[in-house]
Amino acid sequence: MSGVLVGFAGMTHLGVNSAAAALAHGFRVVGYDADAGVIEGLRRAEPPVLEPGLPEMLRLHASRANYTADVAELLHCDLVYIVADVPTDDAGKSDLASIRRLIEAVSGALARSAILVVLCQVPPGFTRDLPLPSERLFYQVETLVFGQAVERARHPERIILGCADPSAALPAALAEFLSAFACPILPMRYESAELAKIAINCCLVSSISVANTLAELCERLGAEWSEIVPALKLDRRIGQHAYLAPGLGLAGGNLERDLATVLKIAGETGAEAGLISSFVRNSRHRRDWVLRVLHTEVLPSSSDATIGILGLAYKENTASTKNSPALALIECLSNWKIQAYDPLVAGSSVSHPRFVSGARPEDAVKRADALAVMTPWPQFRSLDLEAVASAMRGRVVIDPYRTLEPGKVVGAGLDYFTLGARPLRGKRRSDT
Amino acid sequence: MMKHHCQRPEAPRRIVILGARGFIGGAINARLAAEGMSTVPLGRAELDLTATDAASRLKSILQPADVLVVISAVAPAKTVPMLIGNLHLLEPVCEAISRLALSQVVYVSSDAVYADDSNPVTENSYVAPSTIHGMMHSAREMMLRSSTAAPLAILRPTLAYGPEDPHNGYGPNRFRRQAEKGEPINVFGEGEEQRDHVFVGDVAGIASLSIAHRSEGIINVATGNSISFRQVADMVAAQYDGRVRVVSIPRPGPIPHLLHRFFDITGCYKSFPQFSFTPLRAGLKLSMQPVPR
């Protein structure tokens, strides 16, 4: 067990998973959050966020964890990570006021030699402007991925560290902590590290935008994007882990935030960022794909259609609905009846005059004129498609993420619409 | 997406239509009247916008809380004098509305305001007209925007077709006239340019909804389906039981720079979710019958 005591301020998605990773690497941890309810839950190994394997890990290492709602308990920490959420508005712009308040509160509680590391998504220039001694102040890039957060926090590809002086040796406690992750450590100036985070996300958005653009071409040409993807991934210049799955634009908030930041900085400095504007435009265009299919295939011929929605969360394995395509779709369907099911998101989070939330997937399907699988929850893969076809009034299944097996959908007599391929028309029972 | 000042459709007290005797204006007036709305249709005979007293005459006609629909134009504007003339036509309108508390102003513009672009046109596409006609509409949009505090709805229809179209522009209307005369339908080159064609009744439908909701903002009036002129010609010919041929003729000039124009009409789906456009084949059939006035 290491002697380094690591504090985490903000028991957010990022905070809890980062703390769990530190525990897993043998460190003692202080987890601080002003919300006493969150702290009580953590003491019972019940985190406020859903992540596969997270409760088990918290339970396993509970003896080395101290969760507290008292900021003063950070006093004995050798280093403290700021891991609060940075809220964004609808345009993806960050509101930094709350994180500044947290840093002020935490830095007032720190020991004189303690190190403070900002691990949140902040714009370039933020860390250097903080009123703290530069030799004790660092910025570290986080690469949280919802649904894979534990694994990524435990085994990062590399650690990108923003410093006042990248050539100086790291403080002993920080060096000991980071070396436990057994990956390359890349010290660089604060601004470079802050921009590196944005650069990573811009590269991801670039891949997503390419996939979305070419998937749309596939839909019109009769090509299959799913056939093309393996060819791209075997290209060393692109790689196995490239983000090439087409989707309904960007969601979740973090990628959008970085695009907004780049556009803001470009606007303030005179840099050319037309490419970023194109990413934003493409994302908005693809987000409405399901709405366009509904208006083309279902709504003109059925003025009182019922639309079934499977999945409300912005992605699987999370209860987050920030920028959720499902909610964006529902907002545009106020004239029609919506019946939905999500394993985690409560129906009460949806504002719609004719919205019904069910307890089972079947509740979303019953007598629906069209069914849209808006979140690729794994359990939807095992739906009995013959039963779905029998329960539905209409024939249209819209499955942007290819959660269902296209052949089985068509085999059940349903029409199948997915991203990156031409629609497949169901085999009608009378055809056989 | 348009902002609706009335979430539920609500008929205004009165709708004054400038240019109500024209192709689109007539269709809008007929639609509104058929829906039971009170209209004041004005053509040049009732109000000559080139007259020196046009502004004061219009002021005397307009009442507070009226909706004003502006369609009057000498179109298509192809020359500089036509551009200037069309701007002058709007000058008295701008003067008349500048101090009036109207419920809404609706301007029927054109998709010609948009830049030539290979991407599908949306309401957010760049306005950079490449023709005098487009520049005329773009300037008139700006004139109205700067003259009224009332909600301004700007409708930008693409190529409109329908019965009683006085123009003989290349497309459904001309094809139908050629077929009616028993002549072959002529397409330039292979007729491969793809365009979106909207039935005039649908332009009137969107105008009606915009008025009923007192909508503010921009809406493109297009079906979202673009097809080639050759396909349009074939559809028209098919209505004449094989008696009409489609013939390819040499282009009068080079192939247009903008070979195709597509629309992404998501903005319309969001603004008017229950509106459906008339499919081209059905619209062409309707075009063979006169519109009841």
Tokens of B232: 């349009």
Residues 6+ apart with CB under 8 A from A44: none
Residue B193 included in any domain: no
In this prediction, residue A3 carries a pLDDT of 85
Give yes or no: residues A205 and A104 share one domain.
no
Distance to chain A for B266, nearest Cα, Å: 7
Find the residue in B nearest to A332 (Cα): B270
pLDDT of residue A72: 96
Residues A249 and A391 occupy one common structural domain: no
Determine the pLDDT at residue B165. Answer: 82
Residue pair B17/B108 in contact by the 8 Å Cβ criterion? no
| Cβ density class A42-80: b for 16+ within 10 Å, e for less | beebebbbbbeebbebbeebeeebbbbbebebbeebbbb
pLDDT per residue as tens digits for the range B31-42? 999 999 999 999
Q: Which of A270, A287, A304 is the last residue of a domain?
A: A287
Domain that holds residue B91: 3-162+198-225+259-278
Q: Choose the final residue of a domain: A253, A272, A287.
A: A287
Taking alpha carbons only, the member of A327, A357, A314 closest to residue A50 is A314
pLDDT band of A429, cuts 50, 70, 90: low
Tens digit of each residue's pLDDT (9 = 90 or more) over A161-184: 999 999 999 999 999 999 999 999
Please give the pLDDT value at position A430.
Answer: 56
Q: Do A334 and B269 touch (CB under 8 A)?
A: no
Most B CBs within 10 A among A295, A296, A302, A330, hence the mutation to make, goes to: A295
Predicted confidence band of residue A144 (pLDDT cuts 50, 70, 90): confident
Tokens of A364: 């979303």
Choose among A288, A300, A335: nearest Cβ to B276: A300
CA distance B3 to chain A (A): 14
Q: Does B7 touch chain A (CB under 8 A)?
A: no
- The verdict on residue B43 lying in a domain is yes
Instruction: Lowest mean pLDDT of A225-229, A321-325, A394-398, name the range.
Output: A321-325
% of chain B exceeding 70 in pLDDT: 98
Q: By percentage, how much of chain A surpasses pLDDT 70?
A: 98
pLDDT band at B127 (very low <50, low <70, confident <90, very high): very high
d(C-alpha B44, C-alpha B32), whole Å = 20
Would an 8 Å CB–CB cutoff place B126 in contact with chain A?
Answer: no
Q: Do residue A156 and residue A84 come from a single domain?
A: yes
User: Closest partner residue to B266 among A281, A291, A300, by Cβ?
Assistant: A291
Contacting residues of B for A352, CB less than 8 Å apart: none
Which residues, other chains included, contact A149 with Cβ-Cβ below 8 Å and sequence gap of 6+? A13, A14, A17, A51, A54
pLDDT score of A301: 84
Q: Domain holding A380: CATH number? A: 3.40.50.720
CATH number of domain containing A221: 1.10.1040.10
What integer is the mean pLDDT of A199-207?
96
Average pLDDT over residues A250-258: 83
Structural domain contains residue B32: yes
Asked if pLDDT for residue B293 goes beyond 50, the answer is no
Determine, yes or no, domain membership for B208: yes
CB contact under 8 A, B266 and A334: no
Q: Nearest residue of B to residue A290 by CA position? A: B266
* Shared-domain flag, residues A56 and A203: no
Which residues from B are below 8 Å from A296, CB to CB? 224
Over residues B15-28, mean pLDDT: 96
pLDDT tens profile A264-309: 999 999 999 999 999 999 999 999 999 999 999 999 888 899 999 9
CA closest to A294 among chain B residues:
B269
Mean pLDDT of chain B: 93
Per-residue pLDDT at A200 exceeds 80:
yes
CB pairs under 8 A between A and B: 30
B291, pLDDT greater than 60: no
Instruction: Check if the beta carbon of residue B213 is closer than 8 Å to that of residue B275.
Output: no
Domain that holds residue A31: 5-190
With respect to residue B169, please indicate whether it lies within any of the assigned structural domains: no
The answer to whether A291 contacts B264, with C-beta atoms less than 8 Å apart, is no
Residue B244: inside a domain, yes or no?
Answer: no
Average pLDDT value for residue range A55-71: 96
**Contact (CB<8Å) A333/B124:** no
Q: What distance in Å separates residue A312's CA from the closest CA in chain B? A: 20
Q: Is B276 on the interface with A (CB under 8 A)?
A: yes
Give the closest of B122, B264, B273 to A332, CB-based: B273
What pLDDT shows up at residue A156? 95
SS3 annotation, A184-205: CEEEEEHHHHHHHHHHHHHHHH
Distance from CA of B247 to the nearest CA of A (A): 28
In chain B, helix, strand, coil percent, each to 5? 35, 20, 45
One domain for residues A63 and A163 = yes
State residue B290's pLDDT score: 54
Looking at the structure of chain B, the number of domains it has is 1
Interface mutation target, options B1, B266, B280, chain A, most CBs of A under 10 Å: B266
A285 vs B contacts (CB less than 8 Å): 120, 122, 264, 266
Instruction: Answer whether B264 touches A (CB < 8 Å).
Output: yes
User: Edge-to-edge, what's the strand order for the sheet holding B3-4?
Assistant: B3-4, B215-221, B152-157, B104-108, B67-70, B15-18, B39-42
Question: A276 and A298, same structural domain?
Answer: no
Q: Which residue has the tokens 């692109």?
A: A238
- Helix, strand or coil, per DSSP, at residue B148: coil
How close is the nearest chain B Cα to the Cα of A220, in Å?
13
- pLDDT of A124 reads 94
For residues A36 and A168, membership in a common domain is answered with: yes
Pair (A22, A158) in one structural domain: yes
Q: Pick from B122, B124, B269: which is nearest to A295 by CB?
A: B269
A94 and A14 part of one domain: yes
CATH number at residue B136: 3.40.50.720
Contacts of B224 in chain A (CB under 8 A): 292, 296
Q: For A294, list phi and psi in degrees, rounded to 5.
A: -60, -45
Q: Do A334 and B273 touch (CB under 8 A)?
A: yes
**Is the same domain home to A281 and A293?**
no
Of A160, A190, A220, the domain-final residue: A190
Is the model's pLDDT at B289 over the cut of 80? no
Give chain B positions within 8 Å (CB) of A336: 273
B182 belongs to a structural domain: no
Please, what sign has the CA dihedral across residues A98, A100, A92, A307?
Answer: negative
Residues 6 or more apart whose CB falls under 8 angstroms from that of A373 comprise A310, A311, A380, A397, A398, A399, A400, A401, A403, A404
Please indicate, yes or no, if residue B266 is contained in any of the structural domains: yes
Cβ separation of A333 and B273 shorter than 8 Å?
A: yes
Per-residue confidence (pLDDT) for residue A361, from 0 to 100: 95
How many structural domains is chain A composed of?
A: 3
pLDDT of residue B292: 46
Whether A175 and A43 share a structural domain: yes
pTM to 2 decimals? 0.86
Chain A interface disruption, residue of B124, B269, B277, most A CBs within 10 A: B269
Nearest-Cα distance to chain A for B116, in Å, is: 17
Report CB contact under 8 Å: A335, B274. Answer: yes
Work out the angle between the directed axes of helices B172-180 and B229-238 (0-180°, nearest 10): 40
Q: Are residues A26 and A121 in the same domain?
A: yes
